[in-house]
Structure 1
């Protein structure tokens, strides 16, 4: 630094004080400023152009609120940091491996400050103006209110924070941790401080303003053939070789009337000289005046300055990068920025009025100037007790609430999910990562798999891995129910058993309503017979049955039968009365006694009719009464038959015994009871077909053990259970039944155990994707929500989603969390799935940026995934350390090599640690190549 400029930094500020509820920074001329730290509201690569427009409106509102005599300064600081996270000593081995893998990784951090500055009065001395002072604090409060109302995260800096901010800016050191000052050396081209160069790149050369004729708050770049909205200056996060970049944006709001008069006079002068360039200038000025007259825009003086810190030998590539990116935006930066020290000093926070109006500021409309403000932020960690770590688009670990409902911000009502990803997209790898993190956070997980995808992670956590085989089939007793379950949740259990029986009996064909009614009634009566054995009908039950059977009898009573019955009754009335008379047996006569009494009354009335002493009127009355009695006799006869029928039903129910609960006893009960019901109701049901199809699960049948053996109760205490049923995936009968009863096991576990539970069904879900199962799957998805549960399905075929109604009705409509992996191969026919999943155009754009960015260099096995929770969606990276890769791998050769190490070292942790150390020691970067060498030797590397 030149000798006369040794104290140039001494004259920047006058004072920093806390007053009237604000920390106010005064520059050398007395202009007060208040500094907000804020988060730009637009997430980088969100692809939603509307968000940029909304923030543009917020900034415009702030500028309009501040008005004349104020400046708005915004500084976005892009600083290279190194990742660090404190990991508890008792953390799981794979968790420690995860964060150790990312330790020290470089990333760009974006910090944003918004500074409101009031213009100081011109003159040698600054005088206190109480009215102006109150107006300043009022405007600061209004800016605070606008940001709060629009939901933009922000806060005012404290006095120590402002002090640190100013010193960090002077040292141009924004990396975390301590920092120190060093000497500055200024030249026309840059500033040198220690081993770094600081250079300013003003965006506008005052002598020739090269800006695009049309500016928008965002620009578009093509990703995978899709136009994606992004910030005009998003490239500032990617400046090569730069350790820090500060984008300083300043808008001064001068007196409008004076400027308007000046512009109008300038337009007249241009119009007075008939010259093509003057005509263009006049037209431009008139267009600006028209905009000012129509819109609420303001004339503002602006300065945009990019300040970069980099090593001395990297200035040329940094300059080349910035110029290239700015040219792409239609901006040609100033090539004559020789006042480097002045530009740097005037870019200090709160120095918005320090720029020289002759060569540092250019006049434009406020709306145009605000289009050039930076508007993006990077992904951050969510505030949630349940953390699932992914990486952001630049490779930095960030945690999200995968359920969408446990975090501070509630995005969903339920945590159910479905995951779609074609083969090779990293679907199983991603699910392994999610399952690991769920298990580490006290979640009970039950998985149904068809491909050994979770054998490694199950072994690591010491879970129970149940693999189906003919020698050791998966067997359960889904009919076994405790009295407590029967009294509290029988409706749910009944629906499950009904689904199970129809799955065996009808397959994918939907049952008829009659079939549904019969099976439903048989299940209800089966459990009633077990828990409350039948002895006899109560009087109330008998009366209810009597009325029900009477209605049924009347339904069957056609005219011809009625006429025959009436002729029989007529003959009984006309028959001679027997000599032995029936005595009254009770106060309330049974139906037979009542019938005899009515007949006697009818005979007496008939005698009156034939008696000559009876008048015609009396005869007519007696005949009428006989007709009434005849109808009563008809109904009494039906009641007599019904009473006998009820006696028979009582005897039948008494004979139906259920000694224990199992498929065997249900089968026996149903084959006896269903024919009784069909006979009583006079309906058709092919009981022989029913018996024949279900017989294979009955005593002595091929599959008897499947539904008649009690499940190991210890499974309910296991935190992680994997059912591997790959060996029966082609069995059309057994496969769906096993999947279904596993789901029932999960439901029982879910009700019994406290805490979070998850059921994840991989490709096996297709076995139960039938109309028969639709209602049960809906019930499952809705029920898990009540018990702090998660239900999820994982599939790879796009057609599974498009072609299956059950996917849409039962799964998609009941899942608030959607997870999609690389869908690029389906790009040309994605409209169908987008319609079924209810994807917006913005979400479709996000999905097709998956794995399409140039962000894979220097990273381990890495795939991206799109996650939507409610309406909140974004793309995340699945990047795991080598230790996790060995635990997750589905490659058979790699799994076999790991088993060799497991046999040698005894524990999965030791096996993973040593196989990875040996791979690095051998200098083999490819996991599969090293695994093949291990398999070839059939022993660990130390024994080769």
Structure 2
């Protein structure tokens, strides 16, 4: 007997071979199997029941495709691993700290294998059958195609991989790295191997079959008051004390006709004995037969087996946990599984036909059996050149493409975003994390802040921190335009300047069409005068202007003025000689020369009319000619005036010189040019109000430097610039203007510099969310994506989203990336927000799971955030190491304490390192408590003893 036990694993498999690239595993009876490694398509906690249903359909399709004589085996392996990430050479200090912080953190890895097995002929010596062999490979290829078509990641295992998989299963050791075999000792309760216990838990006792009457591919659990869809057996990823859990799922597809005949006969036998229990049994069988006749379901033999590896003293709590969780699902696992060694051997990959049909398999419908198949996977890292690290819901670092457009899977058309999170939700902490990772990956970042939220990270990266004050204002020259920008992007620049001028002139009030036309024209002519100084009109320009003024002149005339003019012309052609002053001119205008010519012709025809020798017909013809020429003479008279007017306009334009570009020169140009335009066009514009309102930014005005000082050229080369404008956030005039010109600085940087650029505006964006600014914000959001740019706004008030049409039209509709933090306080009135943001019911459920899971144990300060890129949305954790916390903190006491360390140690990196070392030495858990202690001493900890 002992000898038999030593060789108990010898008779499981017959051969492992590779033919034509296909690796086939044969069991002891000759049944061939092909093994796929795959990833379940449903993310854990995705909350979407539809995704479970879709995978259920894929599995049902596979079962239908395989048909009779095949088995589908699926193994989901849950193994405890330790996190490790290779830190690239040259990584930043904070990045090294990040991965060092997570190094060694335990997590449960999910590996999934799908095995297709063809049943060997029974009761005869196995012989090669070319038809069955071809059918087997054909079915395997079809399953491969189904998985590919549905976008489910999978691949066939190679020969070494299959061999390793089988050996790891035998050792039940799936942790990364080397493993070893040891002896097995079997008992009725479990198997012992080395210092571990392996125990199998069959889900079904076939003598009782305690399963729920109705099963679905998913179950629902309540999180924060919302029903969330999860896998029926999702708890398998959280089995306590277990180092490895294997969920073995087997579906055998027997001959259907034989089973149907047996069921029909069984129904007749129950019907022949008319007692209540037999009536129920008959009704159940008939219901199954009806389902089989109507639906595409099949009768299948199934086995579901949970295999757990744990320490010997943990068997009882593991068993208790599994029984409790299965009971919650309506499943009563078998308590009589005394064939532990047999169950373990039968669960080997490729051994789907090893189960004893008398006590290991139960008959059910394929759809019902597939509902119990595990369908979830853990979040994994995305294939993207731009990596932004978050954690999954259990604390494992995963990288995503925050833009949604740079990764292998394109989710968005642009990377613009908005971020909404109430105070205390971790909004600034999250944005600090994103900014750090963007900067580390060669992104130029410009930030507009009101609250010193980015002072620490700016100091760490050695960025430029510009804080606005009355004594030291942020001075720029938004009117300065290069020749290249004028030639290529003047339309964009013009729209910006128009928005700026109206922001000063009208505030939040929308300009009238006349005002818009006037300011637009002055901007165009201002730059035309600078880049193309005017000398004189060309003949074509003069002719075009002449026609324009002629039309305007005719528009001004009425019938009385026309009749009066015609009487004057009659008098001119009746006089014997032309006016001497005109005839005496050596040079006359073309229009005047034509007028004199027409007068002479009219006089000639008038002579014909007065000549008694003329016939009546000649007189009539001459009279008609006179009337025609009189009308031409009328127009010629107008043209004489128009030519003089053109001369005057020409002289005006010649006087309008622009020698340098600034608000000062524009102001002077506009005040001279606008009255000329209003006079010419006969329109009204209050030039005095315009001049008075803009005057504060003009030469000698209180805010002259704001728009007339060339920005430091070095800013264009800075990778990280923070404009801190908290000190003027309550100035209704200056605040929005400074925000706007900072945005223009970014646009100049965006056009000139190569690579990725990001503009992030915190609460300051509300200053420019006005009708005047709507078009410019739209322009900004649409323009940045053409230059590999990102524009983002950050706010804490949901009402900002609801109440502002500018936010909806200009920002939300042009942002493919939505970022929301904890919204639980608003959930009773969230329908309006959901409608504006275009959230689906599933996304709403995701949002209200933020910070609602029991997943905080053993983790540093962290908050969760919902990120939606296009239609792809999920919840991630923002968890950072202590070093990053010190760099990000917005708590004033913590920032002051860090500044004390910075003053002592000289560099931000050293200051962060030392303050964290000292905090750990004291054993103080909370950063704020330690910071208060430092502030109390006003010295670094090493100097406290000397104080």
Scaled by the length of structure 1, the TM-score of the pair is: 0.99
Match of 1:561 in 2: 561
CA distance in 2, matches of 1:605, 1:317: 124
Matches within 5 A, 1:32-431: 32-123=32-123, 125-431=125-431
Distance of aligned partners of 1:541 and 1:346 in 2 relative to their CA distance in 1, 3 Å threshold: same
Report the Cα distance in structure 1 between the residues aligned to 2:552 and 2:930, rounded to whole angstroms: 78
In structure 2, what is the Cα distance between the partners aligned to 1:37 and 1:189? 31
For 1:11, what is the secondary structure of its paired residue?
coil
Q: Greater shift after overlay, 420-429 or 13-22? A: 13-22
Alignment of 1:665-704 (within 5 A): 665-704=665-704
Conservation of the 8 A alpha-carbon contact between 1:31 and 1:119: yes
Q: Deviations over 1:256-281 (max 9, x none)?
A: 11111111111111111122211111
**Higher deviation after alignment, 761-770 or 629-638:** 629-638
**Pair 1:588–1:65, CA change in 2 (3 A):** farther
After superposition, the CA RMSD in angstroms is 1.4
After superposition, residues 874-885 of structure 1 pair within 5 angstroms as 874-885=874-885
| Cα shift at 1:610 | 2.6
Partner secondary structure for residue 63 of structure 1: helix
- Residue by residue over 1:845-889, the C-alpha shift from the partner in whole angstroms, topping out at 9 and shown as x without a partner, is 111111111111110011000001111111100000000000000
Query: Residues 358-388 of structure 1, C-alpha deviation per residue, up to 9 Å, x if partnerless?
Result: 1100000111100110011110000000000
* 1:507-536: CA deviation from partner (whole Å, max 9, x where unpaired): 011111110110011011111111111111
How far off is 1:3 after superposition? 5.2
- Answer yes or no: is 1:856 the counterpart of 2:852: no
Deviations 1:462-486 (A, max 9, x none): 0000000111100000111111111
Question: Within 5 A, what are the aligned runs for 1:450-529?
Answer: 450-529=450-529
- 1:4 deviates by 3.6
1:595 aligns with 2:595: yes
- Partners of 2:89 and 2:574 in 1: how far apart? 104
**Who is 2:891 aligned against?**
891
How far has the Cα of 1:307 moved from its partner?
Answer: 0.5
Give the superposition deviation at 1:15: 0.7
* 2:906 is equivalent to residue 906 of structure 1: yes
Report the secondary structure of 2:307's partner residue.
strand
Counterpart of 1:926 in structure 2 is 926
Q: 1:673 to 1:226 in 2, by over 3 A?
A: same
Task: Provide, for residues 612-648 of structure 1, a one-character-per-residue CA deviation record: whole Å limited to 9, x for no partner.
Answer: 2222222222221111111111101100000000000
Separation of aligned partners in 1, 2:456 and 2:339: 63
Q: Secondary structure of the equivalent of 2:10? A: helix
- For residues 295-331 of structure 1, give each alpha carbon's deviation from its aligned partner in whole angstroms, at most 9, with x where no partner exists: 1111100000000111111111111111111111110
* SS in structure 1 at match of 2:257: helix
- Measured in 2, the distance between the counterparts of 1:250 and 1:555 equals 90
In the alignment, is the contact (CA less than 8 A) between 1:215 and 1:368 conserved in 2? yes
Please state how far the C-alpha of 1:583 moved relative to its aligned partner.
6.6
Partner of 1:576: 576
Kindly state the Cα deviation for residue 601 of structure 1 after the two structures are TM-superposed.
2.5
- Seen in structure 2, the aligned counterparts of structure 1 residues 607 and 352 have a Cα distance that, compared at 3 Å, is same
Change (3 A) 1:580 1:895: closer
Which secondary structure state, in structure 2, belongs to the residue aligned with residue 289 of structure 1? helix
- How much has 1:580 moved relative to structure 2? 6.5
- Residue 812 of structure 2 aligns with which residue? 812
Corresponding residue for residue 21 of structure 2: 21
Q: Measure, in 2, the Cα distance between the counterparts of 1:3 and 1:831.
A: 71
C-alpha offsets along residues 382-435 of structure 1, whole Å, 9 cap, x if unaligned?
A: 000000000001110000000001111111111000000010000000000000
* SS of residue matched to 1:885: helix
**Cα deviation code 1:94-118 (max 9, x no counterpart):** 0000000000000010000000011
Partner in structure 2 of residue 614 of structure 1 = 614
Question: For residues 145-193 of structure 1, what are the alpha-carbon distances to aligned partners after superposition, in whole Å with 9 as ceiling and x for unaligned?
Answer: 1111111110000000000000000000000000001111111111111
Distance 1:311 1:796, change over 3 A: same
TM-score, normalised relative to structure 2 = 0.98
Name the SS for the 2:9 alignment partner. Answer: helix
Unaligned residue ranges in structure 1 (runs of 5+): none
CA gap of 1:401–1:296, structure 2 versus 1, over 3 A, is same
**1:2–1:186 contact (8 Å) kept in structure 2:** no
TM-superposed deviation, 1:244: 0.5
Task: State how many pairs are aligned.
Answer: 944
C-alpha contact (below 8 Å) 1:252/1:301 kept by paired residues: yes
3-state SS in 2 of match to 1:350: coil
Structure 2 CA distance for partners of 1:128 and 1:648, relative to 1, 3 Å: same
Distance 1:672 1:405 in 2: 49
Deviation of 1:584 (Å)? 10
User: Is contact 1:47–1:230 with CA below 8 Å preserved after alignment?
Assistant: yes
C-alpha distance in 2 between matches for 1:2 and 1:738: 87
> What displacement does 1:590 show?
2.2
What is the CA-CA distance between 1:124 and the residue it aligns to?
5.6
Structure-1 separation of matches of 2:168 and 2:580? 124
- The answer to whether the 8 A contact 1:190-1:198 is kept is yes
Paired with 2:756 and 2:167, the residues of 1 have a C-alpha distance of 48
> Is residue 572–residue 578 contact of structure 2 (8 Å, CA) maintained in 1?
no
Encode CA deviations 1:626-685: one digit per residue, 9 max, x unaligned: 111111111011000000000000111111111111100100000000000000000000
Is the contact made by 2:589 and 2:640 (CA closer than 8 Å) also made in structure 1?
no
Partner in structure 2 of residue 775 of structure 1: 775
Residues of 1 paired with 2:578 and 2:117: CA distance?
122
Distance 2:272 2:305 in 1: 37
Q: Tell me the CA shift for residue 599 of structure 1.
A: 2.0
Is the CA contact 1:389–1:397 (under 8 Å) kept in the aligned structure 2? yes
**Alignment partner of 1:10: what SS?**
coil
Partner of 1:784: 784
Residues 1:595 and 1:83: Cα distance change in structure 2 (over 3 Å)? same
8 Å Cα contact 2:247/2:304 also seen in 1? yes
